[in-house]
Structure 1
Amino acid sequence: MDPVTPGGGRRRRSILRLGIAALAASALTVTGLAGAGTAQAADVNVAKNAGFESGLADWTCSAGSGTAVGSPVHGGASALKATPAGQDNAKCSQTVAVKPNSTYTLSAWVQGSYVYLGASGTGTTDVSTWTPGGSGWTQLSTSFTTGASTTSVTVYTHGWYGQSAYHADDISVFGPDGGGGTDPDPTVPTAPAGLAAGPVTSSSVSLSWSPVTGATGYNVYRDGSKVLAVSGTSATVTGLAASSSYGFQVTATNSAGESPKSATVTATTAKDGGTTDPNVPRHALTGYWQNFDNAATVQKLRDVQSQYDIIAVSFADSTATAGEITFNLDPAVGYASTADFKADIAAKKAAGKSVILSVGGERGNVTINSDASATAFADSAYALMREYGFNGIDIDLEHGINSTYLTKALRQLSQKAGSSLVLTMAPQTIDMQSTSTEYFRTALNVKDILTVVNMQYYNSGSMLGCDGKVYSQGSVDFLTALACIQLEGGLDPSQVGLGVPASTRGAGSGYVDPSVVKNALDCLSRGTDCGSFRPARTYPSLRGAMTWSTNWDATAGNAWSNAVGPHVHGLP
């Protein structure tokens, strides 16, 4: 993608994303004997639902600022996420039962910028502590003493005005039982239900199952042997043999033990180099997902709007070896682990989506100008596909390409990945003005394995249409007359998509209202709603549209995907 404004480019700011934690209050302490043989009760955690395993039960959050989330968590299966907004600091509180004249230790695991933990109504000196944030989980801790007649105290967490969301988990108010008791000890969870096999490759099987109440983790078994331990309700088992059948089971775990095994589900891996992932639909919507924080809404893959059929993860990184690429998950996105990211890819694929890795971007570059670099690209790209479960690759190189060697690289990748490879491109407008350009040559060279070219109809100024006339950026004519060059220049209509920004902040120039995109799609596929340029024929199999980015779309209230998505899917 080639946005030139501060909001539009591949701007990587290492901003702490809120992740979280939680403190498990532990040890029971016996205070000894008081008087003639009467024992004092052991200290307990008097906070209820301390790990938010029951959502926000027992907690109250100001202005609806809090929610229980399944990831990231410090312990168990849930944690608190609270988001300050306007004049609200996202305060979440609980009133706990305490004993008078007693000392309590208050602690929590938190993550985020300017997170506070405190207690009020103590009857003595109210307390609070805070952290300005850091690169990992932080345990906040303080203590208070109750007054002579104090039987309840309010404990709380909050963030700060204008800051991002914070997370908190495993909150402990440890001291004498004030009569309210503590959360009951966990019981062994029941066996998971709903185990199902999703997409498979020649060496992996994706699994998913229903959550189990009280579970803090899950174990995955292959043919009776434990192979994985995960915190979520999905997993991808790798290292399998091609064309082989396996039986899988799952158990749920917590501190009380492990559940019985689930029913067995059987899955067969694909032939070597093959996959059973779904094909891209006849008319598809493509969205680029930002693996960085540049002031657009930060999303995890699971948050990507359902209208998108192809999700291009942006971006791969180059290495010191010419042509070789790698992928580095940005902490700013908020994933607790790479495994969670892979699970999101598997879930999107199970939902019928294609998740691909984009190579390039405004600031990214990969040099493929020799046989060695072509092989390095193909080998590393295929390795990433196998490691993460990507369906394919997007070529978004914006600093010049060599069509001879890029063609060789893509051919080698296709031989490794097989016929299910999803291969897309996102050239700039100048790169597709003529069939003699290196980008256009590459597209034609790999036409038999190419899924779609989503040219970027923005950040370009005026350009020539297929009729030799100059058209201004940001109009129906600009979209249709430039698409005509590709449609009449040798690409199949199913290999042509219209790439536009999702919002005015998504690019330096070239934003068009979704209604303009819909008119251009209708003009090209149906011959209706054209501007002054009218193509000589229609292209009913036109693939669809693309946007930069799903994040900017979310920032604008999903207006782009909500309008353009259904229209693309309704094309003839």
Structure 2
Amino acid sequence: MPGRRRLLRVWSGAVTAALALALTGGGQASAADVDNARNPGFESGLGDWTCSAGSGTTVSSPVHSGSAALKAAPAGQDNARCAQTVAVRPGATYTLSAWVRGGYAYLGATGTGTTDVSTWTPDTAAWKQLSTTFTTGASTTSVTVYLHGWYGQAAYYADDVSVFGPDGGGGGDPAPGVPSAPGGLAVTGTTSSSVSLSWNTVPGATGYNVYRDGTEVTAVTGTSATATGLSAATSYSFQVTAANSAGESAKSATVTGTTAASGGGGGGTGVPKHAVTGYWQNFDNGATVQRISDVPAQYDIIAVAFADATATPGAVSFTLDSAGLGGYTADQFKADIRARQAAGKKVVVSVGGQNGTVSVSDPASAANFADSVHSLMRTYGFDGVDIDLENGLNATYMTQALRALSAKAGPSLVITMAPQTIDMQSTSNPYFQTALNIKDILTVVNMQYYNSGSMLGCDGKVYSQGSVDFLTALACIQLEGGLAPSQVGLGLPASTRGAGSGYVSPTVVNNALDCLTKGAGCGTFRPSRTYPDLRGAMTWSTNWDAASGNAWSNAVGPHVHALP
């Protein structure tokens, strides 16, 4: 959510289109295949590479292998693009890969003569392999391969770039061998319809294939995956193989995952079937200053923004901004929460925002998070917690934290989430993984459909924010990716002042709700089925809504409550 603590990020459709790429398992490599990249490990400095605006240099640490790696730092309007021209053969298929770490990193190829490709990863503290494939045109003899970062993000590192395929006359490194079988395969989470898995990295692998009961079900580039669309209370066996251009490894050891018994999803008893969530600002940023008692009755869930990190890893605290809210006292705040709850509403404390750098990254910090949130629930009477972290989330330990909180608070606990659009583009993203891991206790994910530029829909097409299609096609990813319809809500700004971009009129919000629940009011994108149990909508914020005469809640609220 924008406001005092909101980071505005704009993503171009050209960049986000990279998300549509899926790893294709390489077939058997030809004996003549080589790495056509020159100076792929940057052992000769920046030789054969050109970096924009002097953004690139070589470093001796960190490196993925050898004694050097690339470090490139975006600055201003420069995205730190480093590229080289690679000789290739016409009509041939190549596998492009690189190891990256640090800030946002992108890898791609242009001038292929067919379809140019790219792939990317958000910032990562460990080395991660990016990989994609391309086929050259009938007369293509060279392509440009590139790496770049993203504006305003940290420097990225890259090492061991490879363009494996038929020798184009400029390479010479031998083709890779078939990788070994992955080790460490484990079940990391289950819901009634999904099983999440992770395994160890295999050197030389460009991707991994996941098998369920002996049949390949998905291919990924990372070392985790979530199998979705499963039956409740059912055991499944899983194996994983590693792959590269030389072929596919033997299968890993088998693990068994058993889905939960409940066929639906969601915790938080007492939340209406269709609900409206509104963020309430515990600060004055120019919007209407409110007390909890001022929040209109159209809001079913009120998310108090925000709890703050403490010096204890993982722990959070909350202090009412009495001075900024016109002398609103803690006792009045607590009494207003109780009054709202007596009227059937839920009030949760939101953790995050732009400055909400709460780090839950190990068992100790997970326990601290659960203990501190539960303490706030007892102190103020909150019904639960909202996860709105924009600065990284560890799926393993946030899952631990929320399950520990659930054990303390019981089945009435309300857990909501407000990820950015980029966080829910793939089930492999930590935010999406966390949501799936806690599906049995999760109330609703209100993704922010704003401050994001263009994004991919579930049909692989790029949609621009500010349209019905943007809302419906992106919601479809969550609805078909394993979340129950009752766990999906549409998050929109209450006014043009509530966000840097992405505001749509309440009419557009209502059309999107109708499209998803009834198949009416759609734009060019039409979902393959309807989702009448869709939870509803969310807005940032009740304060900005009040500043506009409550136009958003007066229009969207009754529409949500009248859904089938």
Letter in 2 for 1:356: V
**Which residue of structure 1 lines up, in the alignment, with residue 283 of structure 2?**
292
- For residues 7-156 of structure 1, what are the structure 2 equivalents within 5 Å? 8-10=3-5
- For residues 244-283 of structure 1, what are the structure 2 equivalents within 5 Å? 279-283=270-274
**Alignment of 1:323 onto 2:314:** yes
Q: Which of 484, 490, 513 is matched with 2:476 structurally?
A: 484
The answer to whether the 8 Å contact 1:278/1:352 transfers is no
Q: Which of 430, 437, 452 is matched with 1:438 structurally?
A: 430
How far is 1:363 from its partner?
A: 1.6
**Which residue of structure 2 lines up, in the alignment, with residue 453 of structure 1?**
445
CA distance in 2, matches of 1:415, 1:303: 33
Q: Which of 465, 472, 477 is matched with 1:473 structurally?
A: 465
**Which residue of structure 2 lines up, in the alignment, with residue 372 of structure 1?**
364
| Corresponding residue SS for 1:315 | strand
CA distance in 2, matches of 1:493, 1:484: 10
**Which residue of structure 1 lines up, in the alignment, with residue 485 of structure 2?**
493
| Corresponding residue SS for 1:347 | helix
How far is 1:528 from its partner?
A: 0.3
**Which residue of structure 2 lines up, in the alignment, with residue 526 of structure 1?**
518
CA distance in 1, matches of 2:343, 2:372: 27
**Which residue of structure 1 lines up, in the alignment, with residue 298 of structure 2?**
307
| Corresponding residue SS for 1:312 | strand
How far is 1:278 from its partner?
A: 6.3
CA distance in 1, matches of 2:329, 2:475: 41
**Which residue of structure 2 lines up, in the alignment, with residue 517 of structure 1?**
509
The answer to whether the 8 Å contact 1:9/1:507 transfers is no
The one-character-per-residue Cα deviations of 1:287-344 (angstroms, maximum 9, x if unpaired) are: 0000000000000000001100000000001100000000010021124421111001
| Corresponding residue SS for 1:333 | coil
| Corresponding residue SS for 1:567 | helix
The answer to whether the 8 Å contact 2:275/2:300 transfers is yes
| Corresponding residue SS for 1:306 | coil
**Alignment of 1:381 onto 2:373:** yes
Query: TM-score when scaled to structure 1?
Result: 0.52
CA distance in 2, matches of 1:389, 1:497: 24
- For residues 411-422 of structure 1, what are the structure 2 equivalents within 5 Å? 411-422=403-414
| Corresponding residue SS for 1:295 | coil
How far is 1:564 from its partner?
A: 0.1
Letter in 1 for 2:5: R
CA distance in 1, matches of 2:467, 2:303: 26
Query: TM-score when scaled to structure 2?
Result: 0.53
Letter in 2 for 1:320: A
CA distance in 2, matches of 1:296, 1:571: 30
CA distance in 2, matches of 1:548, 1:377: 24
The answer to whether the 8 Å contact 2:419/2:431 transfers is yes
Letter in 2 for 1:525: T
Percent identity between the aligned chains? 74
Q: Which of 336, 343, 352 is matched with 1:360 structurally?
A: 352
Describe the shift of the 1:355–1:335 C-alpha distance in structure 2 as closer, same or farther (beyond 3 A).
farther
Letter in 1 for 2:391: H
> Once superposed, what is the RMSD of the aligned Cα atoms?
1.0
| Corresponding residue SS for 2:433 | helix
Letter in 2 for 1:293: D
**Long gaps (5+) in structure 2:** 7-267
Q: Runs of at least 4 residues of structure 1 off by over 4 A? A: none
How far is 1:362 from its partner?
A: 1.6
| Corresponding residue SS for 1:547 | strand
**Which residue of structure 2 lines up, in the alignment, with residue 191 of structure 1?**
none
CA distance in 1, matches of 2:328, 2:380: 16
| Corresponding residue SS for 2:496 | coil
CA distance in 1, matches of 2:525, 2:541: 28
Describe the shift of the 1:459–1:336 C-alpha distance in structure 2 as closer, same or farther (beyond 3 A).
closer
How far is 1:523 from its partner?
A: 0.1
- For residues 201-220 of structure 1, what are the structure 2 equivalents within 5 Å? none
- For residues 222-237 of structure 1, what are the structure 2 equivalents within 5 Å? none
**Long gaps (5+) in structure 1:** 12-276
CA distance in 2, matches of 1:337, 1:300: 10
The answer to whether the 8 Å contact 1:300/1:335 transfers is no
**Which residue of structure 2 lines up, in the alignment, with residue 116 of structure 1?**
none
How far is 1:9 from its partner?
A: 3.6
The one-character-per-residue Cα deviations of 1:1-20 (angstroms, maximum 9, x if unpaired) are: 2x2xxxx3438xxxxxxxxx
The one-character-per-residue Cα deviations of 1:197-221 (angstroms, maximum 9, x if unpaired) are: xxxxxxxxxxxxxxxxxxxxxxxxx
The answer to whether the 8 Å contact 1:278/1:354 transfers is no
| Corresponding residue SS for 1:444 | helix
Describe the shift of the 1:465–1:339 C-alpha distance in structure 2 as closer, same or farther (beyond 3 A).
same
CA distance in 2, matches of 1:552, 1:10: 15
CA distance in 2, matches of 1:286, 1:336: 22
Describe the shift of the 1:335–1:347 C-alpha distance in structure 2 as closer, same or farther (beyond 3 A).
farther
Letter in 2 for 1:10: R
Letter in 2 for 1:508: G
**Which residue of structure 1 lines up, in the alignment, with residue 454 of structure 2?**
462
CA distance in 1, matches of 2:328, 2:356: 25
How far is 1:371 from its partner?
A: 0.3
How far is 1:442 from its partner?
A: 0.2
**Which residue of structure 2 lines up, in the alignment, with residue 205 of structure 1?**
none
Aligned length: 302
**Alignment of 1:426 onto 2:418:** yes
The answer to whether the 8 Å contact 2:348/2:384 transfers is yes
